[in-house]
Structure 1
Amino acid sequence: MLLRRIVPQRRDEIKQYASHRSYKPYLREDFNKRCGYCDADDKFLGASAAFHVDHFAPQRFEERKTDYTNLIYSCRYCNGSKSDYWPSDCSQTSVLKEEGVIDPCEAKYDEHLARNEKGYIYPLTNLGGFIHKLLKLGLTRHSVLWKLQHIESNLDKMDTQIEELSTEQLKIYQLLSSEYRNLISYICEYGNK
C-alpha cells in the first residue's frame, strides 16, 4: 500500500518572503496538513503550531534558505530526525550512492517506502532503507497515527449513511464516534505537552 494518501504539491506562484517561517500556511495547505515525510496528519500532533518548516537542503545553502521549492511541512519528529543531514556539497544533490533523502513532493518518494496493512512504514529499496532509518519511520507512532486516520475516515463514511442505520446501530455508532472523538481530543492535548 502507498505510504501517503496524496502526494503533496507545492504551488507554482507564491510571494517571496524574507523568512522561511512566513511560508508555513501555504506549505500546510500544499502538504494537505500532513508531514511531507511520514504523512502524519497535523491535527493528531498539535496542528500547525506543533509542525515545522523543514529546509530540505539545509540552511547552510544560503541560496535555498527561503526558496519555496526547498521547504517541507514537517512534523517535529521527522524534522528533528533529519535535522541538517545532507549527503553532498551541492544543494541540488540529495542522494549519493543510495544514501540521502528524496523530496517528498516527488512521486518517486513512494517508490522507496510503503505501508503494510497495519500502517507500518517499511522500505522498498536500499535508499528507502536509508530514509526509513534516518527519519525513524519504523516507530510505532507512525502506525498508530495512520490507524487513527483510518478510523476517522470510516466514521466519516458512516456519517453519510446515518439515515440507513437501525436504532440499535445508531446508538452503537454514536457511542463509538463519541469515544473516538474523546480519544482524539486527549491525544491532541497530550501531543501539545
Structure 2
Amino acid sequence: MARVHGNRIITRRTNYSLLKDYRNYRSILIEDFKNICGYCGKNFEYISCQSQIDHFIPLSFCKENGKDELTYKYENLVYSCSVCNRNKSNDWPSKSFTSHHNNIQGYVDPASSDYDVHLSRDENGSIIANTEVGNYMVSHFKFNVRPIDIIWLVEQLQEKLIVLEKKIEQQMDNESFKEFYIISKKLNKSFSTLKEHKEQL
C-alpha cells in the first residue's frame, strides 16, 4: 500500500498575505501542493489536464450561508486537476463548516494527515478506499474509472530508473551494465519528450 501523494507531503503555509482574489494564490498553491492534484495525486508535469483551484468547502455553500470570507481564505483552497474539481463541484453532504464528513459521506482535506487514513493506493497505483468516507470519495471523484494508476506507475518507473542509472554508472566497465545504461538513458529521454509534448497527447 502507498500514499495517494506518494512521498510528497502537502501542507499549506500559514504565513501568507491575505488576497481578495483567490486566483492570485496559484503560485504558492503550486509550491505547497508540489505541483500535483491534491485529490488524485496526478503530477502536472506528465499531464495536459488543466490545473484549477478548488474551494474545499464549496463556493456556493459558503456564499449561501454567509461565509464569504472562505471564498478567499487560503486554508479553504485545493490545487486540483479540472477532472477532480468538476467531479466534486458543489457537493457538500455534511452541510457544515466544521464537520467535513459524517464518517460515511463527505470529504477529507488533502492537505491533512487524515487523507492517508481514508485513501491509499494499491500495488498497481489505483486509488482505493480504507473507510466509508474513502468509498464516498472514490465514487464521487470516479477514481475507480479514471486512468490515474497509469500516470502514477509512469512516474514511479522514472524515479526507479534514475536510481538504477546511478548504480549502473558505477559499473560501466561491465558490458552488460553498459547496455542496460544505454537503454535506461533512452527510456528516460522518452519520458522527458513525453513531458515536453504532453499538450499534444
TM-score normalised to structure 1 length: 0.88
Which residue of 84, 88, 97 maps to 1:82? 88
Instruction: Structure 1 unaligned segments of length 5 or more: list them.
Output: none
How far does the alpha carbon of each residue in 1:136-165 deviate from its partner, in whole angstroms, 9 at most, with x for none? 111351110110111111012123322324
1:164 equivalent in alignment to 2:171? yes
How far does the alpha carbon of each residue in 1:105-135 deviate from its partner, in whole angstroms, 9 at most, with x for none? 1111111111111111111111110001111
Change (3 A) 1:117 1:188: farther
Runs of 4+ with >4 A deviation: 190-193
1:177 equivalent in alignment to 2:177? no
Which residue of 138, 156, 159 maps to 1:153? 159
- Identity among equivalent pairs (%): 25
1:93 to partner: Cα distance: 3.0
1:29 to partner: Cα distance: 0.8
Q: If you compute each CA radius of gyration, which structure gives the higher value, 1 or 2?
A: 2
8 A Cα contact 2:165 2:184, kept in partner: no
Aligned amino acid, residue 43 of structure 1 = E
Provide the aligned length of Structure 1 versus Structure 2. Answer: 191
Instruction: Structure 2 unaligned segments of length 5 or more: list them.
Output: 63-67
How far does the alpha carbon of each residue in 1:56-82 deviate from its partner, in whole angstroms, 9 at most, with x for none? 111121221111001111112211211
Change (3 A) 1:140 1:178: farther
Q: Distance in 2 between matches of 1:117 and 1:19?
A: 40
1:37 to partner: Cα distance: 0.8
Aligned amino acid, residue 53 of structure 2 = V
Q: Distance in 2 between matches of 1:134 and 1:181?
A: 36
Matching residue of 1:54: 54
Matching residue of 2:65: none
1:100 equivalent in alignment to 2:103? no
SS of alignment partner, residue 138 of structure 1: helix
8 A Cα contact 2:46 2:198, kept in partner: no
8 A Cα contact 1:87 1:93, kept in partner: no
Change (3 A) 1:3 1:155: same
SS of alignment partner, residue 164 of structure 1: coil
1:3 equivalent in alignment to 2:4? yes
8 A Cα contact 1:7 1:107, kept in partner: no
8 A Cα contact 2:158 2:191, kept in partner: no
SS of alignment partner, residue 13 of structure 1: coil
SS of alignment partner, residue 52 of structure 1: strand
TM-score normalised to structure 2 length: 0.85
8 A Cα contact 1:4 1:39, kept in partner: yes
RMSD in angstroms over aligned alpha carbons?
2.1
Q: Distance in 1 between matches of 2:147 and 2:57?
A: 26
Aligned amino acid, residue 173 of structure 1 = Y
1:121 equivalent in alignment to 2:121? no
